[in-house]
Amino acid sequence: MFDRFQIRNNYSHQIPCKKCCSAELLQFDYKSDSVMPSNSYTIIAREGWLILFIVALTGLFLLYEFMPLYSIPVWLLLLVLVYLLRDPERTIPSSPLAVVSPVDGYVDNISSVQDKWIGRDALRIRLRMGYEDTYSIRSPIEGKIVKTWSSEPARLGTSEKIHRHAIWIQSDEGDDVLIVLYVGKIASRLKFYAHAGERVGQGQRCGYFFLGGIAEVYLPENSRVRVKQGNRVMSGTSILGQLVHQKTHPISAIPNPV
């Protein structure tokens, strides 16, 4: 099923965003050496298995080679990491037009903005993740990934740079939903396993955001927002908004004149 994820295309190039309002060059990012993890319930995120193994091995070494007291800090660290790397199962809402939260966190801001990534007016919902949240990234809607971008723009007025990753997903009905992930300052690491041209399901696990950061979700401007500023949200479960489709009424047949 996932043979296509194993194709290696380790290259990148820069292309201008044709629909973008600015002339900034965006780096089109390919990372096909990562394989999409399955959606099976594993309790602990696979991305943390190696870290937990190394810490546990260090604890055993200190326990048997030195006094057991020396290993206590390592075991405490292991418990903290197990909590941080938890990956609980999520119940996906049965609402095809719903846009679910891609990450855990709380709603920091809701505003109408100009989406400069794909060139349109949009509703932006900014989500701020905490260090105690789970770090799995899930697709907000079912559809096809049109493009992904990765760039490191400098902060306005400073030389500080921040890494961001954008994912453009389009539903089968033509609804465009964009996710922009901003990596945090403290050792955050971002892995996104799906690539342009591939399909993702609503609430499907498709990435990992270790220690979290900020996620922005751009919805079509006519969408109905279902959250308020300050609300807590859970990835794959909480509904951020509802896509709106215009209802079409069939034209009744006009009777032939007698």
Tell me the domain boundaries of the chain: 8-37+92-242, 46-84
pLDDT for res 73: 87
Quickly name the fold that domain 8-37+92-242 has.
Glucose Permease (Domain IIA) (2.70.70)
Measured between alpha carbons, how far is residue 73 from residues 11, 57, 66, 165 in Å? Answer: 42, 13, 13, 35
Residue 65, by phi and psi: left (phi above 0), alpha (psi -120 to 50) or beta? Answer: alpha
Q: pLDDT (tens digit, 0 to 9) for every residue of the chain, 258 residues total?
A: 334 333 333 333 334 444 444 333 333 333 433 444 444 556 877 777 888 888 888 888 888 888 788 888 888 888 888 888 888 888 888 888 999 999 999 999 999 999 988 899 999 999 998 878 888 889 999 999 999 887 654 444 444 556 778 899 999 999 999 999 887 666 557 788 888 889 998 988 888 888 778 899 999 999 999 999 999 999 989 999 999 886 644 544 445 554
